[in-house]
Structure 1
């Protein structure tokens, strides 16, 4: 039986539509977003990343490094050698420097959380008194060995706090900077009697006890900020990540990591 003309025309139209559909651009696929984070925000980021990926379908590829310093892992050094990075999370002052250099776009970068410096000892070891500036000074003088980070907290201790307490010379023989490794690991191995770093970086390390935060008069509160790299090809996905990390949904896990969300700090006036 010979098909009717209308049926032939209908079949040709269907084939034409199928061909046109194949030629149409596919919907935008989920992005692969490369993120470099410093240790201070790392625990919060690791807790939040799976939820972001679930909500958006984007895939996060993560790298870690200090916000400053001479190590190859340092985030500014990664950017200077043109590593594939879309978003950076790091100490605010260092991020501002990258904005001025043109490495990070000025639009949209802002503070995510505030961090305090803490002191740790090996798990089970006696916990020295750091409840006042005088007690902290005596603890530093009595300690046989001291470790501190090569990022914001360590720079503050070695260049500001030790001289302010009048103990810079006494620290030279026993206090050392730890490059590109969590200070807590050095303390856990027994290679330093006490260690100082951001509380959010000490909390995840096994084998140590957090003694507490430095007293207010000897404390430096460090902002951790997020910014989008100028060379990114995934601006929309990067904007989505920045918005998610800044949202109220992210706040509980940021608090759990030992940080104070910036939105909470602004609301409380601190």
Structure 2
């Protein structure tokens, strides 16, 4: 009996070794604004490459702190370009792997139809009680929102109305739940295939804030992981590009 089972067990064991050799998983830290696109491309990435994507979503500043404290992330999709550049300088990345995967767009949004006009004049009327933004210290979209308010001369006028989310996801939730009448969100959160998917919005002109260049980088922990390299290459490809642009980003 033993002789009969040994070849079968060996075959199963060998198959397991072969699978692990060609399929790995990659731990990816993803800026909250890019949640939708990553979720939309995960199945295709895994089917195309055979690798598994393990994702965490949050604020760029918080991810920076976690990476510095030894978090097991292997690829970082930031909401800005300065944080990956800083990690580069600090020796936390694979040299030469950093690139811009998307350029984000800011939007002023309300869950109410017709509440936000297409020129953003609702901001100046100030007939709202709460204006939601992401924490500008940790979330680049929150920083961009404060730059817009500064540019329009409204920073002090709306200071008492601001409600800060820990990241852009929470800022969006404040508006979606009705706890804030309107808020600055990532266009990608409310946009799909060329149109705003609900409520009303003003797509903020790019000249009102610094460009939201979003960089990706392979982190030091991903240096020897084929899945990390495969995911970065996938992000640069045509299929990922279609998904990214369908959420209102440019490349």
**TM-score in same-fold range (> 0.5):** yes
Equivalent residues of 2:24, 2:226 under 8 A apart = no
Matched, 1:237 2:227: yes
Q: SS where residue 170 of structure 1 aligns? A: coil
Give the structure 2 partner of residue 128 of structure 1: 116
Match among 91, 105, 111 for residue 94 of structure 2: 105
Matched, 1:212 2:211: no
Cα 1:219–1:143 shift into 2, 3 Å? farther
Matched, 1:96 2:85: yes
Matched, 1:162 2:149: yes
What per-residue deviation string (whole Å, max 9, x for no partner) do you get for residues 124-172 of structure 1? 3x3233426xx36524x343210011211211222x3323332222122
Matched, 1:138 2:138: no
Matches within 5 A, 1:39-188: 39-68=32-61, 74-90=62-78, 91-124=80-113, 126-131=114-119, 135=121, 137-139=123-125, 141-150=126-135, 151-158=139-146, 160-180=147-167, 181-188=169-176
Offset, 1:220? 4.1
Task: List alignment gaps of at least 5 residues for structure 2.
Answer: 1-9
Equivalent residues of 2:106, 2:187 under 8 A apart = yes
Offset, 1:207? 9.5
What per-residue deviation string (whole Å, max 9, x for no partner) do you get for residues 158-198 of structure 1? 2x332333222212211122114432211122111111021
What per-residue deviation string (whole Å, max 9, x for no partner) do you get for residues 56-87 of structure 1? 1111111111112xxxxx21122122111111
TM-score by length of structure 1 reads: 0.76
For this pair of structures, how many residues does the alignment match? 229
Distance 1:142 1:54 in 2: 50
Q: SS where residue 35 of structure 1 aligns? A: strand
Equivalent residues of 1:34, 1:61 under 8 A apart = yes
Q: SS where residue 49 of structure 1 aligns? A: helix
Q: Cα RMSD (Å) of the superposition? A: 2.6
Distance 2:245 2:134 in 1: 22
Equivalent residues of 1:31, 1:58 under 8 A apart = yes
Give the structure 1 partner of residue 186 of structure 2: 198
Give the structure 2 partner of residue 13 of structure 1: none
TM-score by length of structure 2 reads: 0.81
Cα 1:236–1:200 shift into 2, 3 Å? same
Equivalent residues of 1:130, 1:136 under 8 A apart = no
